[in-house]
């Protein structure tokens, strides 16, 4: 089954992110705004075993403050992306990502440098990416929250998000 490990931040002003994603992210109706910790992986590990694995790996990881602000764009072999940048909590996100990939998820590592972010758009061409970036780059809204859980999502047949596990941070 295809799964991913994510943070689903809760912001008071999340409707702004939702509006941007509706315009530019084809997955906006399928998955809530999120920060990916472990990218989609295919594994036969049971959800119970995965929950135990997270319990073991996340022990001692405390909830933390996170702030997102400002946008960036990225063009790579996976597509043309708009990112909402993490400005506070980035070290904690990197730590969790690295810890998971150093152990059980090492075989799923694509060897791609991890830049913590929230994807708010995926565009079909660089020109559309540039236009979307110009449209949103003057938005200086600040998004703040406390991250207190990590979730495992099953990616359904229609790419819909099915939350299978939620692990509270201490």
**Helices 126-136 & 14-24, crossing angle to 10 degrees?**
160
Dump pLDDT digits (tens) for 13-47: 999 999 999 999 999 999 999 999 999 999 999 99
Q: Which residues contact 26 (CB under 8 A, 6 or more apart)?
A: 122
Closest CA to 103 of 57, 140, 66: 57
What value does the mean pLDDT take over residues 74-82?
92
Q: What is the pLDDT of residue 138?
A: 87
Domains, in order of start, for the chain: 2-168 (3.90.1140.10)
What value does the mean pLDDT take over residues 121-148?
96
Dump pLDDT digits (tens) for 146-159: 999 999 999 999 89
State yes or no: pLDDT of 111 exceeds 90.
no
């Amino acid at each position: 089954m295809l799964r991913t490990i994510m943070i689903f931040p809760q912001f008071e002003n999340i409707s702004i992110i939702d509006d941007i994603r509706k315009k530019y992210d084809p997955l906006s109706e399928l998955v809530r705004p999120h920060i990916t910790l472990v990218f989609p992986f295919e594994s036969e590990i049971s959800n119970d075993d995965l929950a135990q694995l997270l319990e073991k790996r996340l022990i001692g990881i405390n909830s933390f403050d996170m702030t997102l602000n400002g946008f960036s764009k990225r063009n790579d072999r996976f597509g043309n992306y708009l990112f909402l940048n993490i400005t506070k909590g980035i070290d904690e996100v990197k730590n969790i990502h690295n810890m998971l990939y150093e152990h059980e998820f090492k075989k799923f590592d694509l060897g791609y440098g991890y830049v913590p972010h929230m994807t708010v758009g995926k565009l079909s061409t660089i020109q559309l990416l540039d236009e979307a970036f110009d449209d949103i780059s003057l938005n200086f809204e600040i998004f703040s929250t406390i991250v207190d859980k990590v979730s495992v999502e099953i990616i359904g047949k229609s790419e819909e998000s099915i939350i299978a596990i939620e692990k509270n941070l201490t």
